Structure 1
Amino acid sequence: MGTYIIVGASHGIGEATATKLIGAGHRVINIARSENPACENHVWDAASEDSLPTIEGPIAGIVYSPGSIVLKPFHRLTQADFQSDFQINVLGAVKVIQTYLPNLKQNGGGSIVMYSTVAVQTGMGFHASIASSKGAIEGLTRSLAAELSSLHIRVNAIAPSLTNTPLAAALLNSPEKIEASGKRHPLGRVGESKDIANLTYFLLDPENSWITGQIIGVDGGMGSLKPA
């Protein structure tokens, strides 16, 4: 069984992924602002300049799940909005990967999973800031996948549509909003944490070791289908 680092295993997709890994007998280290009682926990905030904790020994995989949802008309977005989104979504991921890359090397390879958004591929109004930072994640994913392939380290990203997590609480805080958002998806519902966690687990599993450099949509068809 392996050891996995999940940045953000205390809520949402990260928590659902941790539950699957722990259920399969793996050790999960949660690095987040709050604890997951099922994991080994270290406190860290992706929006801060704080150093990451030192983790000893080989790591089989890293999941970087912090995110942000700042939806505003472009003319109302400030430089601070763009900087905050970039810090949380991109620079935090860079810092985590650079810090724990030696642990992946000790393992003789492994898997890194990050998260983009359907709004990168599919232009959506009011998404300029978040789509910009998540677009950078897609570029980072492909670049690292190429650079780290000789080390047998795989790098992939998942691009969800709206998913029912604490991060999206303001957008899905009533049955009416959930129903209306669901109707915008070809499959007729919004995503759940387990929908994304299932693919995350698949990408982490060494059995699926011939997949790298991919941006995979888990979006209820939003990014590629136009319902009849």
Structure 2
Amino acid sequence: MKNILLIGGSYGIGLAIAKELQYENKVFIASRTYENIADMNVTHIQFDATTDTLDMSKLPEAIDGLVYCPGSINLRPFKGLKLEVFEQDLQINFISLVKVIQSILPNLVASNQSSIVLFSSVAASMGMPFHTSVAAAKGAIEGFAKALAAEYAPKIRVNVIAPSLTDTPLADKFLNNDVKREKSAERHPLKRVGTSDDMAQIASFLLSSKSSWISGQVFHVDGGMSTLLVNQ
């Protein structure tokens, strides 16, 4: 049974991952809220990634898997974005992630082989209008992940999931009616938006021993958007 730490696992993709992992692993969820996971087989740690220091006393000596879920979706024209917006996106997506990994690095090294799973975005590799802030923050994650994977191989594996638009509370304003949902689905070669379960399945795989020879990779779980050009 592996010890898995989810940062932000109380809703959306993080919650789906927790549900996927809870029965065959010992799952620790560090998040601001608790109500969605109250009945689950997990250990909760009160934690805000942007402001708090992780309480290490509640974690095991060895951590076999880490998933960092907090993120943002800021889609606005560049000319209207203040510097503070870039700083906020970088803070929640990247700087807070670095802080977490630095704090639990000894626990990750204590595992026989630990796995870190991070989240980027299809926007980090595709030039998409109105995505300058979030694409910059997610691009930092991809570069960081590859460098970290190289530095800590073979002890720690590091991989990134880069979704397209996924049906989560964070993306609600883009999918909150049938017209928006249909238009979003049509933009993808597979003609639907992603689900939290789509992301949970690949995260579970990357945390497991089934992926023990995979590190430093960015997985585009995006309905084919980043690689396929089809009639639209």
* TM-score w.r.t. length of structure 1: 0.96
Looking at structure 1, the residues matched to 198 and 26 of structure 2 have their Cα atoms a distance apart, in angstroms, of: 22
Kept in 2: contact 1:46–1:87 (CA 8 A): no
The one-letter code of the counterpart of 2:54 is: L
Q: Identify unmatched segments of 5+ residues in structure 2.
A: none
Offset, 1:104: 1.2
Partner of 1:80: 84
Letter aligned with residue 224 of structure 1 = T
- In structure 2, the residue corresponding to 1:93 is in which secondary structure? helix
Residue in 2 that maps onto 1:204: 207
How many residue pairs match? The answer is 225
Provide, for residues 79-127 of structure 1, a one-character-per-residue CA deviation record: whole Å limited to 9, x for no partner: 1100000000001110111111111111122100000000011110000
What RMSD in Å do the two structures reach over aligned CA positions?
A: 0.9
1:56 deviation in Å? Answer: 3.1
Match of 1:6 in 2: 6
Does structure 1 conserve the Cα–Cα contact (< 8 Å) formed by 2:13 and 2:197? yes
| Structure 2 counterpart of 1:52 | 54
Partner residue of 2:133? 129
Gaps of 5+ in 1: none
The answer on whether the counterparts of 1:182 and 1:190 sit within 8 Å (CA) in structure 2 is yes
Tell me the amino acid that sits aligned with residue 52 of structure 1.
L
Partner-residue secondary structure (3-state), 2:20 = helix
Post-superposition Cα deviations, 1:165-211, rounded to whole Å, max 9, x if no partner, equal 01101111112211110001010000000111110000000232000
Show the counterpart of 1:148. 152
Pick from 111, 114, 117 the counterpart of residue 110 of structure 1.
Answer: 114
- Aligned: 1:33 with 2:32: yes
Within the candidate set 41, 63, 68, 1:64 is matched to 68
Report the Cα offset of residue 74 of structure 1: 0.1
What's the TM-score once normalised by structure 2's chain length? 0.95
Q: Which moved more, 1:34-43 or 1:165-174?
A: 34-43
Q: Work out the CA distance in 2 between the residues paired with 1:115 and 1:217.
A: 10
Residue 46 of structure 1 and its aligned partner are, at CA, apart by: 2.0
Select which of 186, 191, 194 maps to 1:188. 191
